């Protein structure tokens, strides 16, 4: 159905702009797609129908694989039967696969151990059937993704009558946990209807009170950003200021959480003058803001203001996630314009080559983008719940089913930390920007192939020669470190460092200066062309215990002039006499 709609739309949009009824037909097709998206949660159903068909053909045309799967199915059915026979004696018997939530001794008792063992065998067989080692076919990946969703949903740990832990708790509390769970469910439904998100416990972390509390001022504002300058914490400061470009997919204060987790506070306490871009949470009036606007109104305008506040000194530019991608584009533009404003570029979990985007690839197809565009056409923005839902699907057992069981069956709200509170504070995406980002960068990979243009300007990453420090995280499912690592061959920096830290896309970056559970590897190149494969790099880079923050700050200090500038307290008013608002400003509260 979806493919027919897309074909119908293309047929009519290819017609001359003045063709009678062309716009009306395209609008009808778009409206139908939007209605379909409301039924499917925004997923394009034809992608998954096609994926299952490709998977079926892959198995049907390979008799040896059919034989392997048949043999495996027989072995697992036999194992389930034999286990059930032994468990029927009443003797406690562990079902195995504790990593899937069956580690509690309550699962060792019949019939629950039989449920768990049968489920494990069934899930293991499906995983084998849906896995295609060495395959780069995204259709097969989507079939595997859809299959994993079904497998995770079917776990006996998700249901009261098949989960002995839940039954034991229900008996012990005389069902009070179910009453609390129902109240939690009603609260969450009401919150969603009111547009307030779905994590009430996150409200204990107030922006400007518990998180985003590093002292500073809003020194500039336009329709897209506020620029924050933070108060110095040392008598002297490095000459070169630091300008941080965070992702606009979420709020900036992931880099300024509670004081012990604040990268901003860490930098100012080390003697750096720090500026931060705080993005506006867009609404329908911003629907036509595109990537070019984010580069100009975002980074370039902010850079100009930093140069005004701290004249005669180059700027250390830092970008995180999609903000790092934006910074990479801007750095290439500045280099092409022979603008030498940047002293260095640091990128955290940011991609420039999207040929291997990781698990997000299941959502990046023409049909899916068409579906999202139809959804955004009415409101002008993509709501944060849509994006949050997509990320939750990638880890459905941990981010969907586990929390649902905890809150609605156990009746227990999770203990929320500052990072979890930030994660619940979602933002919207302008229609034009989001479509351009998905289609031009993810789908067509224009930035890596050299085909990306911004206005009339060609964006050539090979023009970037400034020192670079690039950070990837080991278990990143948003920007896999192998993908982040590819930036090395796209630029021509003769002073290039790549660091790999433990952790994921968010927790790996927000490490704190002292973190006993973190480790990192670091390797630096002193020429513009030498590179290694990711595997070779991993073998040569030495492992170090602890947070990566001190290693990066040492590099930053080494690329800065000595602390010879006296720290100046921030003014309370702009040059025109207008009072400066305290950080974190207004946009972060939107």
**Residue pLDDT, tens place only, 114-133:** 999 999 999 999 999 988 76
* Separate counts of helices (H) and strands (E) for the chain: 22, 16
Q: How confident is the model at residue 13 (pLDDT cuts 50, 70, 90)?
A: very low
Residue 294 has pLDDT above 70, yes or no: yes
Average pLDDT, the chain: 88
Round to whole Å and give the CA distance between 217 and 273: 13
Q: What percent of the chain has pLDDT over 90?
A: 62
Is the dihedral angle over the CA atoms 163, 164, 166, 171 positive or is it negative? positive
Q: How confident is the model at residue 232 (pLDDT cuts 50, 70, 90)?
A: very high
Which residues, other chains included, contact 531 with Cβ-Cβ below 8 Å and sequence gap of 6+? 488, 489, 525
Look-up: residue for tokens 């289609």? 439
Residue 502 has pLDDT above 80, yes or no: yes
**148-157, 320-329, 377-386, 403-412: segment of lowest average pLDDT:** 377-386
What mean pLDDT comes out for the span 237-250? 95
What mean pLDDT comes out for the span 399-422? 89
Which residues, other chains included, contact 103 with Cβ-Cβ below 8 Å and sequence gap of 6+? none
**Better-predicted residue by pLDDT, 395 or 507:** 507
Residue 134 CB burial class (10 angstroms; 0-12, 13-18, ≥19): exposed
Round to whole Å and give the CA distance between 550 and 533: 26
**Better-predicted residue by pLDDT, 372 or 80:** 80
Residue 548 has pLDDT above 80, yes or no: yes
**359-373, 420-434, 436-450, 468-482: segment of lowest average pLDDT:** 359-373
The number of beta carbons lying within 10 Å of the beta carbon of residue 542 is 8
126-129 CB contacts, 8 Å cutoff, 24+ apart: 126/151, 127/151, 128/69, 128/72, 129/59, 129/69
Round to whole Å and give the CA distance between 473 and 501: 5
**Better-predicted residue by pLDDT, 356 or 323:** 323
Structure confidence at residue 517 (pLDDT): 86
Strand, helix or coil for residue 91: coil
Structure confidence at residue 556 (pLDDT): 97
Q: How confident is the model at residue 14 (pLDDT cuts 50, 70, 90)?
A: very low
**CA atoms lying within 13 Å on the CB side of residue 130:** 21
Structure confidence at residue 195 (pLDDT): 60
Structure confidence at residue 268 (pLDDT): 97
Structure confidence at residue 11 (pLDDT): 39
Residue 137 has pLDDT above 80, yes or no: no
What mean pLDDT comes out for the span 155-172? 95
**Cis peptide bond prior to 111, omega within 30° of 0:** yes
- The tokens for 471 are 């950070």
Structure confidence at residue 2 (pLDDT): 39
What mean pLDDT comes out for the span 533-555? 95
**6-20, 77-91, 145-159, 384-398: segment of lowest average pLDDT:** 6-20
Structure confidence at residue 241 (pLDDT): 96
Structure confidence at residue 73 (pLDDT): 95
What pTM did the predictor assign? 0.88
**CA atoms lying within 13 Å on the CB side of residue 508:** 26
What mean pLDDT comes out for the span 567-575? 82
Residue 7 has pLDDT above 50, yes or no: no
Structure confidence at residue 140 (pLDDT): 76
| Coarse DSSP helix, strand, coil percentages of the chain, rounded to the nearest 5 percent | 50, 15, 35
Structure confidence at residue 12 (pLDDT): 40
**72-86, 142-156, 375-389, 494-508: segment of lowest average pLDDT:** 375-389
What mean pLDDT comes out for the span 165-170? 95
- Which H or E run contains 225? strand 225-230
**Listed residue (31, 47, 22, 140) closest to 366, CA to CA:** 47
Residue 6 has pLDDT above 50, yes or no: no
What mean pLDDT comes out for the span 286-300? 96
Would you kindly state where each structural domain of the chain is located, as residue ranges? Answer: 2-37, 47-172, 177-205+362-423, 216-360+444-561
253-284 b/e (C-beta count within 10 Å ≥ 16 → b): bbbbbbbebbbbbbbbbbbbbbbbbbbbbbee
Which member of 207, 267, 321, 490 is catalytic? 321
> Does residue 324 contact residue 299 with C-beta atoms inside 8 Å?
no
CATH code, 216-360+444-561: 3.40.50.1820
> Does residue 358 contact residue 479 with C-beta atoms inside 8 Å?
yes
**Listed residue (238, 207, 224, 349) closest to 277, CA to CA:** 224
- Which H or E run contains 499? strand 496-501
Round to whole Å and give the CA distance between 481 and 494: 21
What mean pLDDT comes out for the span 141-152? 87
Round to whole Å and give the CA distance between 117 and 95: 5
**187-196, 308-317, 439-448: segment of lowest average pLDDT:** 187-196
320-358 b/e (C-beta count within 10 Å ≥ 16 → b): bbbbbbbbbbbbbbbbeeeeebbbbbbbbbbbbbbeebb
Round to whole Å and give the CA distance between 198 and 425: 10
Residue 220 has pLDDT above 60, yes or no: yes
Which residues, other chains included, contact 465 with Cβ-Cβ below 8 Å and sequence gap of 6+? 335, 491, 492, 493, 494, 528
> Does residue 344 contact residue 468 with C-beta atoms inside 8 Å?
yes
Q: How confident is the model at residue 136 (pLDDT cuts 50, 70, 90)?
A: low
What mean pLDDT comes out for the span 428-433? 92
452-501 per-position pLDDT tens digit:
999 899 999 999 999 999 999 999 988 999 999 999 999 999 999 999 99
Residue 36 has pLDDT above 80, yes or no: no
Angle, CA of 144, 149 and 153, to the nearest 5°: 145
13-24 b/e (C-beta count within 10 Å ≥ 16 → b): eeeeeeeeebee
Distance of CA 29 to the CA centre of its chain: 31
**Better-predicted residue by pLDDT, 14 or 572:** 572
Q: Is 431 among the catalytic positions? A: no
**28-37, 57-66, 440-449: segment of lowest average pLDDT:** 28-37
**Listed residue (137, 100, 107) closest to 122, CA to CA:** 100
What mean pLDDT comes out for the span 238-247? 96
Q: Which residues pair with 523 in a beta bridge?
A: 498
Structure confidence at residue 5 (pLDDT): 37
């Amino acid at each position: 159905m979806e493919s027919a709609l897309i074909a119908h739309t293309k047929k009519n949009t290819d017609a001359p702009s003045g063709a009678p009824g062309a716009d009306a037909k395209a609008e009808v097709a778009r409206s139908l797609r939007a209605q379909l998206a409301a039924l499917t949660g925004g997923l394009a159903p034809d992608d998954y129908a096609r994926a299952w068909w490709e998977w079926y053909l892959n198995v049907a045309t390979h008799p040896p694989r059919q034989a392997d799967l048949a043999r495996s199915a027989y072995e697992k059915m036999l194992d389930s039967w034999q286990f059930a026979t032994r468990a029927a004696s009443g003797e406690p018997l562990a079902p195995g696969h504790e990593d899937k939530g069956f580690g509690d001794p309550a699962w060792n008792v019949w019939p629950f151990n039989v449920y768990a063992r049968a489920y494990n065998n069934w899930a293991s067989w499906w995983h084998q059937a849906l896995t295609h080692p060495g395959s780069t076919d995204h259709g097969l990946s989507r079939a595997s993704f859809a299959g994993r969703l079904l497998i995770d949903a079917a776990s006996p740990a998700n249901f009261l009558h098949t989960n002995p832990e839940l039954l034991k708790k229900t008996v012990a509390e005389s069902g009070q946990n179910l009453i609390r769970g129902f109240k939690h469910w009603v609260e969450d439904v009401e919150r969603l209807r009111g547009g307030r998100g779905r994590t009430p416990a996150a409200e204990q972390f107030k922006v400007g009170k518990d998180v985003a509390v590093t002292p500073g001022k809003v020194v500039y504002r336009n329709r897209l950003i506020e620029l924050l300058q933070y108060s110095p914490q040392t008598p002297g400061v490095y000459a070169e200021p630091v300008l941080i470009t965070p992702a606009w997919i979420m709020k900036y204060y992931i880099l300024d959480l509670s004081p012990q987790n604040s990268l901003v506070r860490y930098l100012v306490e080390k003697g750096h003058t720090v500026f931060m871009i705080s993005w506006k949470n867009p609404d329908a009036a911003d629907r036509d803001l595109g990537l070019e606007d984010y580069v100009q109104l975002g980074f370039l305008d902010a850079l100009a203001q930093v140069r005004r506040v701290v004249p005669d000194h180059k700027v250390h530019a830092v970008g995180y996630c999609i903000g790092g991608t934006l910074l990479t584009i801007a750095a290439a533009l500045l280099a092409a314009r022979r603008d030498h404003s940047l002293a260095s570029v640091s990128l955290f979990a940011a991609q420039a080559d999207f040929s291997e985007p990781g698990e997000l690839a299941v959502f990046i197809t023409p049909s899916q983008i068409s579906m999202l565009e139809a959804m955004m056409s009415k409101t002008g923005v993509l709501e944060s719940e849509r994006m949050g839902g997509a990320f939750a699907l990638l880890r459905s057992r941990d981010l969907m089913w586990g929390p649902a069981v905890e809150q609605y069956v156990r009746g227990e709200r999770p203990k929320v930390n500052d990072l979890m509170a930030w994660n619940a504070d979602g933002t919207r995406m302008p229609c034009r920007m989001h479509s351009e980002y998905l289609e031009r960068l993810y789908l067509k990979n224009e930035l890596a192939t050299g085909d990306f243009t911004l206005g009339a300007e060609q964006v050539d990453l090979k023009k970037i020669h400034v020192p670079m420090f690039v950070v990837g995280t080991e278990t990143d499912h948003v920007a896999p470190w192998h993908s982040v690592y590819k930036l090395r061959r796209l630029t021509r920096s003769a002073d290039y460092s790549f660091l790999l830290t433990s952790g994921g896309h968010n927790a790996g970056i927000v490490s704190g200066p002292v973190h006993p559970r973190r480790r990192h590897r670091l390797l630096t190149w002193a020429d513009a062309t030498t590179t290694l494969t990711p595997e070779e790099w991993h073998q040569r880079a030495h492992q170090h215990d602890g947070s990566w923050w001190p290693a990066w700050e040492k590099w930053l200090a080494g690329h800065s002039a000595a602390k010879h500038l006296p720290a100046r307290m921030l003014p309370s008013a702009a040059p025109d006499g207008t009072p400066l608002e305290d950080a974190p400003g207004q946009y972060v509260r939107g």
